[in-house]
Amino acid sequence: MSKIKALIRKRPKSDPSKAISVNSDNQNTNNASIDAASKGHAVNTPIEQTRWNGWGNININKKVSAHGAKLIKSHIGKTKKLSSVSLQQVLKTVPKSRLPVAMTELDTVSVDNEVRLRHARGQSFPDWIAMHGGDFEVFPDGVAFPASTADVETLLQLASEHDLIVIPFGGGTSVAGHINPQKGSRPVLTIAMSKMDQLIDLDNESQIATFGAGTQGPAVEAQLNEHGYRLGHYPQSWELSTLGGWIAARSSGQQSLGYGRIEQMFAGGTLVTPQGVLNIADIPASAAGPDLREMMMGTEGRAGIFTEVKMRVQSQPEEELFKVAFLPNWAAGKEVLRQAVQKNIQLSMLRLSNAVETDAHLHLGTTPSQFMAISTYLKARGLSSEKAMLTYGVSGDKAQNKLALTQFNKLLKQQGSVTGKITDIMGSVWAHGRFKFPYLRGTLWEKGIMVDTFETATNWNHIDEQMQQMQQAVRTSLADEGEEVMAFTHISHVYKQGASLYTTYFFRAAKDHASTLSRWQKIKHAASLSLANGTATISHQHGVGRDHAPYLAAEKGKLGIQVTHDMLKSLDPEQRMNPGVLIKE
């Protein structure tokens, strides 16, 4: 029998109210979509319920509308599905583990082939090619499932004694090659944090919740919900990604405007490093020299393993609403976003799609009759094909929300927006299906339509130029093969100084996996070069991993890379922790 099932059975039965001592008088009011998604998720999703070669829960699929697929094909041409290998075929390629026998006998360590396979790859495009083509290249030699900080300390001690490479593994949702073992003579131990998924302590007075760092999004919110709290961190990978992964890769959630990025939420905690345990105090603010909390965020598993993390939580909002408006064009929408954030209007999210993305969304997310109804309505209200869709939200007290919406509606009107019952419904539909979009990738894959994304952030005065450069670079990147790439962009995180840009692109699968990967490499390189220009970041939210590491020096400079390298080396002198990630060795 696969060890996966045995490992799952060893998990503690969840009863957070027994595990912690709390004294909360908060009202348990919450958002319907988050509540539904986190229902029954007081513990992590068992790995056997997730796809071994794609995204998410095996029971969830998302259909793509025929007219949506037709629109994409009108750009990229006719497509043909790539073949996919079976799990059994890949299992046959897993080599014998090189872990020392003493380690394979530990209760916490598994050398089962399926367990190793399921921890070998993340969710990047090359990962999908490997998972469908069957060439995984390298598998971890074993996977450890610690249940406590002490377990992690022991594992790092043993890793040092046996000279192992160690890869911390959260939800495995990395899209930048963060958790993939590399070829080398040292055996690889992946340390999966999935058993550390419980709320350990809740300080009601300071509103600090201490969690096991392996807790996934729904389990975080379900356990906080019981006490009337919420973290409010909702990356689109929320279903499977974890607190430790968010902190280690500096994640940003859809409602970052209202709830902040992960760096505003992470208060401190325990990091087990090869040099010992680093306790990061959860002090609200400090002038006592460089901030260790900041220094350890974004270390992508290279400094050590976060085991227990202290998070700043908030009361559940009294009311949460999501709405949609249409602006005549991108410039008008961008002006609304900039003014809203610079005037401190208390919204929880803002997202603006450019004209191509707006059109694609209207096609992909509707039936033909819904598409016709919405298009006719927007046309009758004077909007052209230049229109830009703006999704926004409020989350808080009813009075505070009312004020924010009044202020925001004024801005919308000034820029000629179209809103109404139909756009309000679109907002609710977006909220309801917000974590289902990633499932489209698998559906499109089956049709031979390859899709990937990349993202950045820049100042307001560079936004338009950067967007044009990124899209142009991507669209023309396969010109030598006579292939067209479809690309569109949205802004989804806004700051007083600037905003993030997130580009989605589609291209055709080539004749086989290797040549499809080569197409992706060309696109990725063109996109990354368009970012390494001194005014934008190589990543606003996905992190660096291996895929972005070659471009990091353009942003940090030689000295910046040296400082980061030296800091990591001081905690990990043997370069045992996830080498090659973040900084190219």
Ligand X SMILES: Cc1cc2nc3c(=O)[nH]c(=O)nc-3n(C[C@H](O)[C@H](O)[C@H](O)COP(=O)(O)OP(=O)(O)OC[C@H]3O[C@@H](n4cnc5c(N)ncnc54)[C@H](O)[C@@H]3O)c2cc1C
* Nearer Cβ to ligand X (55/454): 55
* Nearer Cβ to ligand X (383/582): 582
Give residues in contact with ligand X (CB under 6 A): 55, 122-123, 167-175, 178-179, 193, 213, 235-237, 241-242, 244-246, 248-249, 251-252, 300-301, 305-306, 438, 541-543, 578, 581
* Nearer Cβ to ligand X (237/366): 237
- To ligand X, the closest distance from the beta carbon of 303 in angstroms equals 8
Contacts of residue 194, defined as CB under 8 A and 6 or more positions apart, other chains included, come to 44, 47, 145, 214, 242
Q: 110 pairs with which residues across the strands?
A: 143
* Nearer Cβ to ligand X (172/498): 172
CB 392, CB 349: distance < 8 Å: yes
Q: Is 191 exposed, middle or buried (0-12, 13-18, 19+ CB in 10 A)?
A: buried
Contacts of residue 317, defined as CB under 8 A and 6 or more positions apart, other chains included, come to 29, 30, 31, 230, 395, 396, 397
Q: 536 pairs with which residues across the strands?
A: 458
CB 543, CB 298: distance < 8 Å: yes
CB 489, CB 111: distance < 8 Å: no
- To ligand X, the closest distance from the beta carbon of 67 in angstroms equals 24
- To ligand X, the closest distance from the beta carbon of 549 in angstroms equals 11
CA 215 from chain centre, in angstroms, equals 14
Nearest partner of 565 among 550, 555, 575, judged by Cα: 575
* Nearer Cβ to ligand X (124/469): 124
* Nearer Cβ to ligand X (223/251): 251
- To ligand X, the closest distance from the beta carbon of 122 in angstroms equals 5
* Nearer Cβ to ligand X (56/328): 56
Q: How many helices (H) and strands (E) does the chain have?
A: 23, 17
Helix, coil or strand: residue 514: helix
- To ligand X, the closest distance from the beta carbon of 398 in angstroms equals 28
- To ligand X, the closest distance from the beta carbon of 482 in angstroms equals 30
Helix, coil or strand: residue 225: helix
* Nearer Cβ to ligand X (68/235): 235
- To ligand X, the closest distance from the beta carbon of 72 in angstroms equals 18
- To ligand X, the closest distance from the beta carbon of 32 in angstroms equals 20
Residue of this chain nearest to ligand X (CB atom): 245
Furthest-apart CA atoms within the chain: distance in Å: 73
State how far the Cα of 509 lies from the Cα of 78, in Å rounded to an integer.
10
DSSP annotation string for 328-383 = SSHHHHHHHHHHHHHTT---SEEEEE-HHHHHHHHHHTS-HHHHHHHHHHHHHTT-
